Structure 1
């Protein structure tokens, strides 16, 4: 028996979102059926359109909680990073991959919606999420670059291409680990290892600039702290 929105509108909307989550997870956005969503939720299509404009709006509402949580976590981490690296404290042991771990927890603990996002990467809302993440990471490394150099010197490996590739790689690492479908402990271990390798790569480039006289040691040391990087040679 189908129901119309009424006193239990909140419940009806929640049922539609739950039904849509199952449908998008099983069939993807393009093959998802609004009729099946309504049937499973026990409502009419009219009730669906009472709450959502169309299938696209419904899809966006399904993924929005995870999207907003991910963006909020990254923004908080970015805002906690002072652009003036002279005041960066020595990182606490075990915090090297804290933000990556937090993001992974959000996605892993909401796996069904995360799978919907990963399986519908051509959808404009998903593309917008990846673009937003890349923009935030780019701002982080642009801030690092400004703090290190007034102008990036000739011969430095820390140029726009370096930061662009690092940003894109860091953005896609979490997706790759999630797609492996590993148990959570093993997935976290994989994620930690990859993030440490990426940050060590940037740290090595900073170290090379320091060794070649392109970067003062004091600024380099602050950058190592910000990256949780252990210097390998003097």
Structure 2
């Protein structure tokens, strides 16, 4: 590792601590660079600005999670709802993968969820919910086409998207133990899937 990489890593390590303590808005680039034994010029050299520094902390874990979600949505698009039968645990792999990614860099996720106000990431949960709703709507429409006399309940679809995403947010914010999180998410996921299957459609009038 050359000195440039070492200096960049020092800034990221120190920034993570400062963001966790003070949040994005109150985080001082002067303190971060001082803690790293560098000047503020180094921050601008490596990251351009404070948003870029935050991105160096959260982008990698965030993008991994988004990739898994996109893959899941793509697989769901291929689902044949005329023959689909839900069985307990059929979404465990997805749940475990998401929890693993969330807890692989727990501090980065906490910064993203609780400490990113004032940054370009402050509405990240709303953006993920919107992404989820867009994809779930397509899936729910296919589900409705497979069941005569039913159509999508858009209110419940919107509500379920919020509940799905916030279930993972709540887990991360209230359960620091990875093993407990992995255990608990399975029951949560089963509840969510069963609820989705039973209430996402309503009778045609």
Query: TM-score normalised to the size of structure 1?
Result: 0.74
Task: State the Cα distance separating 1:63 from its structure 2 match.
Answer: 1.1
Task: State the Cα distance separating 1:110 from its structure 2 match.
Answer: 0.8
In the alignment, is the contact (CA less than 8 A) between 2:25 and 2:117 conserved in 1? no
Task: State the Cα distance separating 1:128 from its structure 2 match.
Answer: 4.4
Q: What 5-or-longer segments of structure 2 have no aligned partner?
A: none
CA–CA distance in structure 1, aligned partners of residues 80 and 122 of structure 2:
32
Deviation string 1:4-55 (CA, Å, 9 cap, x unpaired) is xxx6212211111111111111221122111111112111111221112222
Larger Rg computed on CA atoms: 1
Quick check: 1:144 aligned with 2:150? no
CA–CA distance in structure 2, aligned partners of residues 11 and 121 of structure 1:
25
Q: What 5-or-longer segments of structure 1 have no aligned partner?
A: 1-6, 215-234
What RMSD, in angstroms, separates the aligned Cα atoms of the two structures?
2.9
Give the secondary structure class of the aligned counterpart of 2:77.
coil
| Residues 1:196 and 1:91: Cα distance change in structure 2 (over 3 Å) | closer
| Residues 1:161 and 1:90: Cα distance change in structure 2 (over 3 Å) | closer
Could you say which residue in structure 2 is the equivalent of 1:30? 25
CA–CA distance in structure 2, aligned partners of residues 57 and 91 of structure 1:
43
Superposition pairs of residues 124-163 of structure 1, within 5 angstroms:
124-150=119-145, 158-163=152-157
Task: State the Cα distance separating 1:100 from its structure 2 match.
Answer: 2.4
Task: State the Cα distance separating 1:83 from its structure 2 match.
Answer: 4.0
In the alignment, is the contact (CA less than 8 A) between 2:11 and 2:32 conserved in 1? yes
Deviation string 1:125-174 (CA, Å, 9 cap, x unpaired) is 334432332133213321222213359998x5841111000001101111
Could you say which residue in structure 2 is the equivalent of 1:199? 193
| Residues 1:49 and 1:71: Cα distance change in structure 2 (over 3 Å) | same
Superposition pairs of residues 1-234 of structure 1, within 5 angstroms:
8-83=3-78, 85-86=80-81, 94-120=89-115, 122-150=117-145, 158-205=152-199
